[in-house]
A and B are shown apart, each in its own frame.
Chain A
Amino acid sequence: MQFALLYNETPEEQGRRDTADAPAYWGAWSAYMGAMAAAGVMHSGQGLLPPATATTLRTAGGKWQVHDGPFADTKEQLGGFVILEVPDLDTALEWAARAPCAGAGSVEIRPVMPPPPAG
């Protein structure tokens, strides 16, 4: 079964990427991602730059409305995601609990939608 793990970080946690604490921050994430890759459960995944780099687009009556920043400001921000190939939700939860952001932020686990029925 495929699950998406969406890693939500607090702004403070994500801010560590640009401080003297960066080696510890990246060390924790690369160890975690490396363990998933080595266990053969990782289908794909990406990290994301902070919400300040986001551009949001909406169309209304054929016109583009573009603004800087994320769609909504929230306490936690999406820092990245992976798609896991694991037998069940319990295994997905085990991997989610190992994420460096599981303590201060959160991990949202969503089953990947199966293809819609044909015809």
Chain B
Amino acid sequence: MEARRIAEDAARTAYGRLLALLASRSRDIAAAEDALASAFAAALQHWPVSGVPANPEAWLFTTARRTLGAARARAATASAGEAMLAQLAEERAEAAMPDFPDKRLKLLFVCTHPAIAEAAQAPLMLQTVLGLDAARIAAAFLVTPAAMGQALVRAKGRIRAAGIAFTVPQPDVRPARLAAIRSAIYAAYGTGWEALTTADGRLAGLAQEAEYLARLLLAQLPDDPESAGLLALILFCEARRSARRDSNGDFVPLSRQDPKSWSMPHISEAEVLLRAAARHHSPGRFQLEAAIQSLHNHQRMTGEPLSAPLLGLYDRLLAVAPSIGAAIARAAALAQAGEPAAALAALDALAARCTSHQPWWAARARALHASGKRDAAQLAAARAAGLTTDPAVRAYLLSNKFFSD
């Protein structure tokens, strides 16, 4: 039915914009969500009967704000204040504006405020900007729906109670706050990257949602090189997503992938973004990670070994954003460059933090194998297999292919 489709479209595309607008003054995200949900319910009830309004978003906004206003008036009878009257006046003035201001960037800043628990930041973003429900987010982050629901409620309570403002932070703290937004988007992408590889597809990944958020961030900050780097990195990974499985559903490592099976539109867009970002001469974590993926692609497409520039990029990455993942990847690059002893030494330095970290055991298995320590390599590969959640990766790690690739 047409009216239902338009309401659902509006729900998908306008959710975050409407929520940001509704919550920005009151700072009460939970109340704004309730009001928006009842506005969507009202739309589904009224539009099929009385026709779709000329401006569906405006209709939804007005309806939701009326609900919010009524709820607030009830709550305010005891604690009435001038602040609320000022707020209502401000909102009236805003409603007269022909276009809705897009406050989603401010909403992103709120979701990643340092006062919000870090683990709740990406989930909060996915829920408030995209309207995802707690159960779906919980599945992607591997926590129970009840725990995720509680974490989200706590985070929203904190925003209201702590009075976290819907503003763009001052220039002195802005870089750090933007970094938090990018990390949260990348955390959401990471869950999608893993989840979409599960054979049964039970976990709907959040990769597309994260890509949407990265595009949204870049659209709000077109001159920010690191935000361009983040989108480029996501696009490089997305380009190779389907190449990671063969027709039997078996895992295919990057070194065996057929570049013809990569998505060229994704790669071209990423390359353009990366080049434009580089003109700012302000490299950061995401530009460097994207550049590393770009080099990996070139290496695979041309067959030309690029070990030296790859190691150089890993060193720069570790200097600006040290992480276990980057340190392991650098060690793997060392092994690939024919320096297994150096790779093993680099991995040993991380051992204490990696007892149950699958990529570390896989990298160690490869480096041991390259050093001629076959038995130890087998044991390490089995340990990695016992730590993965992905059946295809598990089978690959236990197969002979792992050491011949």
A contacts, CB < 8 Å to B: 24, 27-28, 30-36, 38-39, 89-90, 93-94, 97-98, 100, 102-104
Nearest-neighbour CB distance to chain B for A35, whole angstroms, equals 3
Q: Which of B142, B198, B202, B356 is the one whose CB lies under 8 Å from A35?
A: B356
In the assembled complex, B261 has its CB within 8 A of some CB on chain A: no
Q: Which of A27, A35, A90 is the one whose CB lies under 8 Å from B143?
A: A90
Known contacts: A100-B394, A102-B389, A103-B391. The answer to whether A31 contacts B143 by CB under 8 A is no
Residues from chain B with a CB closer than 8 A to the CB of A32 are 385-386
Whether A97 lies near B355 (C-beta < 8 A) is no
Nearest-neighbour CB distance to chain A for B139, whole angstroms, equals 11
Residues from chain B with a CB closer than 8 A to the CB of A28 are 385, 391, 394-395, 398
Nearest-neighbour CB distance to chain B for A96, whole angstroms, equals 9
In the assembled complex, B383 has its CB within 8 A of some CB on chain A: yes
* Chain B count of residues within 8 A CB distance of the other chain: 22
Residues from chain B with a CB closer than 8 A to the CB of A36 are 386
Nearest-neighbour CB distance to chain A for B103, whole angstroms, equals 34
Return 5 A-B CB contacts under 8 Å, by A number.
A31-B382, A31-B386, A31-B397, A90-B143, A103-B198
Whether B386 lies near A33 (C-beta < 8 A) is yes
Q: Which of B355, B383, B386, B398 is the one whose CB lies under 8 Å from A24?
A: B398
Nearest-neighbour CB distance to chain A for B360, whole angstroms, equals 12
In the assembled complex, B200 has its CB within 8 A of some CB on chain A: yes
Q: Which 8 A-B pairs have the closest CB atoms?
A: A35-B386, A31-B386, A31-B385, A32-B386, A97-B389, A31-B382, A27-B398, A39-B356
Residues from chain B with a CB closer than 8 A to the CB of A30 are 382, 386
Q: Which of B142, B386, B397 is the one whose CB lies under 8 Å from A93?
A: B142
CA distance A89 to B198 in the complex (A): 22
Nearest-neighbour CB distance to chain A for B280, whole angstroms, equals 39
CA distance A98 to B361 in the complex (A): 15
Known contacts: A28-B398, A94-B142, A104-B200. The answer to whether A34 contacts B389 by CB under 8 A is no
Whether B200 lies near A31 (C-beta < 8 A) is no
Q: Which residues from 175 to 193 on chain B have a C-beta closer than 8 Å to any C-beta of chain A?
A: none
Residues from chain B with a CB closer than 8 A to the CB of A34 are 382-383, 386
Residues from chain A with a CB closer than 8 A to the CB of B356 are 35, 39, 94
Q: Which of A31, A90, A93, A98 is the one whose CB lies under 8 Å from B398?
A: A31
B contacts, CB < 8 Å to A: 142-144, 147, 198-200, 202, 355-356, 382-383, 385-389, 391, 394-395, 397-398
CA distance A100 to B144 in the complex (A): 20
Known contacts: A28-B394, A93-B143, A97-B142. The answer to whether A35 contacts B387 by CB under 8 A is yes
Residues from chain B with a CB closer than 8 A to the CB of A89 are 144, 147
Greatest chain B CB density within 10 A among A28, A33, A100, A102 is at: A28
CA distance A66 to B355 in the complex (A): 47
Residues from chain A with a CB closer than 8 A to the CB of B382 are 27, 30-31, 34
Residues from chain A with a CB closer than 8 A to the CB of B389 are 97-98, 102
Residues from chain B with a CB closer than 8 A to the CB of A27 are 382, 385, 398
Closest to A37 in B: B386
Q: Using A35-B356, A38-B355, A98-B387 as known contacts, list a sample of 13 further A-B pairs with CB atoms less than 8 Å apart, ordered by residue number in A.
A: A30-B386, A31-B382, A31-B394, A34-B386, A35-B387, A36-B386, A39-B356, A89-B147, A93-B142, A93-B143, A98-B389, A103-B198, A103-B202
Closest to A36 in B: B386
Known contacts: A28-B398, A34-B386, A93-B143. The answer to whether A100 contacts B391 by CB under 8 A is yes
Whether B383 lies near A31 (C-beta < 8 A) is yes
Q: Which of A39, A93, A98 is the one whose CB lies under 8 Å from B388?
A: A98
CA distance A90 to B143 in the complex (A): 7
Residues from chain A with a CB closer than 8 A to the CB of B391 are 28, 100, 103
Closest to A39 in B: B356
Residues from chain A with a CB closer than 8 A to the CB of B199 are 103
Closest to B392 in A: A103
Q: Which of A38, A94, A103, A104 is the one whose CB lies under 8 Å from B383?
A: A38
CA distance A104 to B391 in the complex (A): 10
Residues from chain B with a CB closer than 8 A to the CB of A38 are 355, 383
CA distance A102 to B389 in the complex (A): 8
CA distance A89 to B144 in the complex (A): 10
Closest to B383 in A: A35
Nearest-neighbour CB distance to chain A for B197, whole angstroms, equals 11
Closest to A35 in B: B386
